[in-house]
Amino acid sequence: MADWASRSIFYHIYPLGFCDAPKRNDFGALPADRLKKIYDWIPHLKQLGVNAIYLGPVFESSTHGYDTADFFTVDRRLGTNSVLTQLIAMLHQNNIRVILDGVFHHVGRDFWAFRDVLKNQQTSAYCDWFSGLDFNQKSPYNDPFAYEGWNGHLDLVKLNLHHSMVKEHLFQAIDMWVQELKIDGLRLDAADAIDKNFLKELAHYCKSRYHDFWLMGEVVHGDYTHWANPEMLDSVTNYECYKGLYSSHVDKNYFEIAYSLNRQFGPRGIYKNLFLYSFVDNHDVNRVASQLTNPAHLYPLYCLLFTMPGIPAIYYGSEWGIEGQKLNGNDTPLRPALDLLTMSHSAPHPGLRQLISKLSRIRLNSAALKFGDYQQLYIAHQLFAFARKSSDNFVVVVVNASERPVSLELTIPNINAAQLCDLLNPGESFSISNRVIQIDPIWPNWARILTEK
């Protein structure tokens, strides 16, 4: 795996929404350099401690970006290839890596090869580029043929990833993105629906050519090792813990997230050697502030996100605790245009950004939090403690999601220190006697992150 990714804190932007682009592309329009808006956000990203950014779909598409029309051209609603190249160069100058969406399972109906099939039908040289093409039927669009789409959505035309020319086309696009745009990796859209042999070929192609190239896949269900393994991807989205992080707070039941963390990363954890992509919301799911029933739970929730094993990611705007919910299947409320000055002065939870900034720096300076083993120390409905340990660093995390201060006595395994100091609450420390520590108080909806002096 690319070593930089395990040391990263990601910031996820959905550019078409963030930049307030028109919902539908006018392929006859001149490019509008909306991507330049991100320049103004770079100081904010650095204040947050972000050192990697995931930009959602940026290539020419019909509507939402995942219906690609051209893999080699930046969406004119966002700018040009030159604009994106210069932006990535500036992010790199600020020590921020960049990954893009690789949407390889499907394309849009405006994809040039599909348009050729619509025009030339059976005589098109690109008939074999698409899955399930059948000229004995009509599509719901009244095309003279049927075809497969993603999850039944026929505006997303499924590619035939077994076809050598399709693979060559996609791999050439990756070459352009790396060699010209200088990207550092890819987030593979709908990775759990992509043929695994294609993923193996893609991984071999990228890793054999580009040192430190990182591949992360969108996987919602299943055994993550089916996709994240030495032959395929470096990481996948940790949807299991995404769900547990918010619902443990809603249900006042830390047993749920504790079970997942132990199952995944504990002494017998099935993913203990993987750096999974950890998140609490993204462009496809409700904002976490809309999921929680108690807004104060944003604080212990982010404390968990930044101290659990994995690679933490912040979805743009959620550092201020903004809300957003799908409306009748419409994702637009999840993907708003945001003004940095407005958010800085009228954020719903202004203290959350400061907490995330502090958590980022604590994590980046802690080998245990980035790479360490995971061991559960205590679990109750609204009180949870665990240890992270690397070869030279030991951290104890205690999270309190209740409305009152609590105390906790813990037995600390395999440690000879006489005292642990609190990284989250500077100046506070607790003595250890015979490996037992009394932590009092643990403030409501807050945490303690303790380490050796």
pLDDT at 122 over 80: yes
pLDDT band (50, 70, 90) for residue 118: very high
Q: What pLDDT does residue 16 have?
A: 98
**Residue 12 identity (one-letter amino acid):** H
431 CB-contact burial (10 Å; exposed 0-12 / middle 13-18 / buried 19+) = exposed
pLDDT at 120 over 90: yes
Structure tokens at 440: 């009092």
* Dist. CA 452–CA 213, nearest whole Å: 35
Mean pLDDT confidence for 157-167: 98
Number of Cβ within a 10 Å radius of residue 138: 12
Q: Per DSSP, what are the bridge partners of residue 395?
A: 388, 451
The domain locations on the chain are 3-108+157-368, 109-156, 372-452
Number of Cβ within a 10 Å radius of residue 87: 24
* Dist. CA 35–CA 77, nearest whole Å: 9
Q: What pLDDT does residue 416 have?
A: 81
Nearest to 289 by CA among 261, 314, 259: 314
Percent of the chain with pLDDT over 90: 96
Residue 441, preceding bond cis, omega within 30 degrees? yes
Q: What pLDDT does residue 445 have?
A: 98
Residue that wins the pLDDT comparison between 453 and 277: 277
pLDDT at 453 over 90: no
3-class SS string, 283-302:
CCCCCHHHHCCCHHHHHHHH
Question: 372-452: same fold as 3-108+157-368?
Answer: no
Q: What pLDDT does residue 19 have?
A: 98
- Range 372-452: architecture per CATH: Sandwich (2.60)
The chain-wide mean pLDDT, for the chain, equals 97
How far is CA 28 from its chain centroid?
33
**How does pLDDT run across 315-332, given as a tens digit for each residue?**
999 999 999 999 988 999
Q: What pLDDT does residue 119 have?
A: 98
**How does pLDDT run across 269-293, given as a tens digit for each residue?**
999 999 999 999 999 999 999 999 9
Find out whether 228 and 276 touch, Cβ atoms under 8 Å.
yes
Q: Which stretches of 32-148 are DSSP H helices? A: 42-48, 81-93, 112-120
Nearest to 292 by CA among 220, 352, 237: 352
pLDDT at 426 over 90: yes
pLDDT band (50, 70, 90) for residue 75: very high
pLDDT band (50, 70, 90) for residue 2: confident
Number of Cβ within a 10 Å radius of residue 418: 10
Q: What pLDDT does residue 451 have?
A: 97
**Residue 28 identity (one-letter amino acid):** G
Q: What are phi and psi of 30, to 5 degrees?
A: -75, 150
For 33, the 3-state DSSP assignment is coil
**How does pLDDT run across 385-425, given as a tens digit for each residue?**
999 999 989 999 999 999 999 999 999 987 888 999 999 99
pLDDT at 1 over 70: no
Alpha-carbon distances, residue 91 vs 8, 46, 163, 353 (angstroms): 14, 10, 36, 21
**How does pLDDT run across 28-67, given as a tens digit for each residue?**
999 999 999 999 999 999 999 999 999 999 999 999 999 9
Nearest to 195 by CA among 147, 232, 153: 232
Q: What pLDDT does residue 355 have?
A: 98
* Dist. CA 207–CA 232, nearest whole Å: 10
Q: What is the CA radius of gyration of the chain?
A: 23
Q: What pLDDT does residue 442 have?
A: 98
The beta-carbon contacts of 63-66 under 8 Å, at least 24 apart in sequence, are: 63/23, 63/24, 63/25, 63/108, 63/155, 64/16, 64/23, 64/331, 65/14, 65/15, 65/16, 65/101, 65/103, 66/101, 66/103, 66/106, 66/108, 66/156, 66/189
What does 330-385 look like in DSSP terms, one character per residue?
B-GGGS----HHHHHHH-SSHHHHHHHHHHHHHHHT-HHHHH-EEEEEEE-SSEEE
Structure tokens at 111: 């994809």
Structure tokens at 115: 């348009």
Structure tokens at 280: 């609490």
Mean pLDDT confidence for 242-260: 98
* Dist. CA 388–CA 414, nearest whole Å: 12
* Dist. CA 363–CA 274, nearest whole Å: 17
Nearest to 195 by CA among 146, 237, 230, 159: 159
Fold of 3-108+157-368: TIM Barrel (3.20.20)
